[in-house]
Amino acid sequence: MKVAVLVFPGSNCDWDCVHAAEETLEGATVERVWHTTSDLTGYDLIIVPGGFSYGDYLRSGAIARFAPVMSAVAKAAEDGVFVLGICNGFQILTEAGLLPGALRRNAGLKFRCHYSNLRVTNNSTAFTSGYEANEVIDIPIAHGEGNYYCDDETLAQLKRNNQIVFTYESNPNGSIEDIAGIMNTSGNVLGMMPHPERAVSDLLGSKDGVRMFASIMKAWRERHATNVN
């Protein structure tokens, strides 16, 4: 497996993602990829990490979505490549139209940074097959604009297509329907506000993020085996 971790001016979780991927995706080659890159051919997983891309000026993710690399991400996603957007990465994916909805300022307008209990509402995905259905896991959050919002029609579609992957047990930001993470209709693009890359070791307080990366590796191996056969 070959993994790209995107880097924008202001990204601050790229090295965390590199470390987590190297520790959990056995045998994977992990590379940091600068935002000016226009070709992501050959990568099996693209991680859009957290941070404050372009200082979060205008709106979180609103400038980064125009970076050359995002056109390459869109093409890769269309081709079925796995894409994981974490925190600011989730914001960028919504701004780029790769995921529906938007992330607004937290209810109460406070930055929230702490561990958060998430419910795995859909474990039949490439990102969550290693979890039990409705399992509650402990994954940290760190955001000021994590309040997920969409209109009623989009929400109905998310529910109908089982695109809601994670929900908060105790909503920290005011997200509609307690939503913490969603995927696209094809199931290869996931965006989430919590940070699974910060939950890969007991030293960090939780290892519940390990199974997300293991799930991705399992899905990639199954796809690779199918393609070979």
How far apart (Å, rounded) are the C-alpha atoms in residues 187 and 204?
29
26 given a catalytic annotation: no
Give catalytic status of residue 114 as yes or no: no
* CATH of range 2-228; options 3.30.70.20, 3.40.50.880, 3.40.1080.10, 1.10.3710.10: 3.40.50.880
Q: What average pLDDT does the chain have?
A: 96
pLDDT at 228: 54
Paired sense of beta strands 147-149 and 2-7, if any: unpaired
**How much of the chain exceeds pLDDT 70, in percent?**
98
Beta bridge partners, 191, equal: 85, 182
Verdict on whether the full-model pTM lies above 0.85: yes
Active site residue 195: yes
User: Phi and psi dihedrals of 48, rounded to 5?
Assistant: -100, 105
Which residue did the predictor score with more confidence, 89 or 226? 89
Please give the helix or strand (H or E) that residue 110 lies within, else none: none
Domain layout of the chain by residue ranges: 2-228
Contacts of 126 (CB under 8 A, 6+ apart): 82, 187, 188, 215, 216, 219, 220
Give pLDDT tens digits for 32-77: 999 999 999 999 999 999 999 999 988 999 999 999 999 999 999 9
Catalytic-role residue among 13, 17, 35, 87: 87
Over 60: is that where the pLDDT of 79 sits?
A: yes
| pLDDT at residue 225, rounded to an integer | 85
